[in-house]
Structure 1
Amino acid sequence: MFLIIAFLGGMISLLSPCTLPVIPLLFAGFQGQRKHILALLAGMIVMFTFVAMVVTVASDWIADATVIGRWIALLVLSIAALALIFPQFAQRIASPAVSAGNVLNTHSVQRHGMFSAFLAGLAVGLLWSPCAGPILGAIFGINITGHSAIATGALLAAYGSGCALMLGLLVAGGRKLITPLRAKSALMERLRQGAGVMMLAAVAFNASGMTSVLKGASGITDQLENALLSLAQPTSTQVKLRPIADAMPSSQLPTLSGGTGWVNGDPVTSKALRGKVVLIDFWTWDCINCQHTLPHVRDWAKKYESQGLVVIGVHTPEYPWEKPLSSVKNAVNEWQLPYRVVTDNNYKIWSAFGNQYWPAHYYFDAKGQLRYTSFGEGNYDKQEAVIQHLLKEARS
């Protein structure tokens, strides 16, 4: 079931604005044959699956290695773009490694087309990986919580294949538009140069780091992926929750043990929080949706601390580069969070709560009973009303 969801999630990920700068890079297959496009997409799947598998099992150093690999990919694609714009430059490229990046150069396509397209696909796959959404995060979580590497690899391959299928359809549609124009050599030369300019612009956009802005516009994509994830979550394992308007609370505050580090204070246990109204906030610092909620959580913590509210941030990393404690401390300082944050690199607390989302807010009353939850952005007025109600209830 989850294989199908991973495949569909890969298809949906193409709707994310974050993927837009990558799409021009794929049109490097236009002047090649259909098999060259397939080789490019195969390279993309192989690189994406390889990188994702490595980051799920490797140590924190892999975050730095991924950054280096990303810059190498950008360099190769920049060379390919320059080869498109300047034919003389393309003719002077002699090294096999550089020729592999020259996907659109006719001479290269004729002699080394399959290999060149595959290498370009590897580069594109490395650049596309950070644009993946909640389903990829769930796959990482599945691996961390004890599932086999083979199962994780199959899910990652399914995810990458779903995106590759959508991109393949896009490229195939583009080829149908280009084919009638190939007889007009002058026009094709201009189109080739225009593709090179687009490709170079896409590389520059990726290198600038502005893709993080586009990730912030991926709300609809994330909602679709979260809806797919809910299909894979068995009803029996979901936490049953009741809104604050209902009289009956639903469950006890789970354990907070199993964290890998604490920021802004010493470790605290669930038992020690009895008598307090507690907000547990699951977040991760590179999650745009989480960043939108943090100012509200911070303000509630400051406003209601004196009345008995305790906020605990649970930082469960979606990606490997979010794991280092130093990066979490930097995020806490940047957002000026005044409350304790526990790092949950091994997903122990995440699993204890049965959580599935970033961000996720769990509200507990003074007796340690779960009374309300809110997943994702928004609903801020309602959440503050919940806090006020629970504090008033605790005083009565």
Structure 2
Amino acid sequence: MRQTWRWFGPHDLASIDDIVQAGAAGVVTALHHVPNGVVWTPEEIARRQAEVGVRKDGSPSGIAWEVVESLPVSEDIKKQQGDWRAHIANYKQSLRHLAAAGLEVVCYNFMPVLDWTRTELRWRLPSGGSCMRFDINDFAAFDIHILERPGAEGDYTNQITDAAARRFAAMDEEDRKQLARNVTMGLPGATEHMSLEDVRAHLGEYGRISPEQLRRHFIDFLSEVVPVAEELGMRLCCHPDDPPFPLLGLPRIMSTEADYRAILDAVDSPANGATLCSGSLGARPDNDLPGMMARLGPKVHFVHLRNVKRDTDALAGSFYEAEHLGGDTDMVALIAAILREEARRRAEGRVDHQIPMRPDHGQDILDDLGRRAQPGYPTIGRLKGLAELRGVMTALEHGTYGIGARQG
């Protein structure tokens, strides 16, 4: 695997110098300041490439922007309303500009309204560190009592609605505001954040869109952009829903292996692929991550390696961001499946035999606790995760002891 690192641009507290010292081979970034639906210009792309290519002292960094995460899909495209056709045209033009700059892998998602959802951004761990957490009872408190979504109570069990009422009653006004901010924070690094009124407006419009219709909209989008990507030699890879189960009554269409298979089969192209995010998919107990990698492997163009620990085996339940080797996903088995896919690609002669990965998220530890970086993206926590993942990869690839080694 090619080891990369996510960077949010010059304002990221993790610098290019830090990334080089971490041993990452490349950078995953995006033009987070450009509004959704607007064309990414060659000038802005070149500026970001130049920023990645230099250290603080002005010397060359030796690393480059290798994966785009994310080129956002606008809400208008997802709902097929407003300027959605113009936004698709702009998306195609952005792909052309990225390809001209040498970029080939583009990660994106098709999550409606909220790009990812957590109820706590710095949940205290027994170790004294902190991490992000999704608590189903707190989320229900937000949904029922803060957002006041009509009919929300019907989406939860009586046990959860009762717990949510108790949680809400125990919160003061600042607690309630903080919970709302956490839930509506949106895509990391993005300039677009939603108010409660924004969320309510989107929910009203999505109320007329079924999961089947949203999937049709997704296929319509792919039918437009995938041929352009294939012509340009690019690989698009959709990130799964996070978390991978319905929230706020919204349709969720990228939560399971069956969801991925439906989309990959509907627009069958080497340019239409998947981002295998072990943390997002691992929050759902019926997702078999090593098996998904084995079966979807030829279409996996990007990998996020992180782990979560679920509170229960409920399909839609609470979880927190665990250590990379310490959650419910068997990370060793998953990495072994990825390495086997890479070996298969090499045997086929595929030029994309090396799959880019990044250590996704991480717990705030040591100096991270005072640094207050982008939630989920601490420098030391991710470095620890990368070191652990690198150790597993090294062991599995070892010529004497690793995969394919001859047994005595």
Q: TM-score range by the shorter chain?
A: under 0.3
Which one has the bigger helix percentage?
Answer: 1
Please give the TM-score of this superposition, normalised by the length of structure 2. 0.26
Between the two structures, name the one with larger relative contact order (CA 8 Å, sep ≥ 6): 1
Larger radius of gyration: 1
Please give the TM-score of this superposition, normalised by the length of structure 1. 0.27
Which one has the bigger strand percentage?
Answer: 2
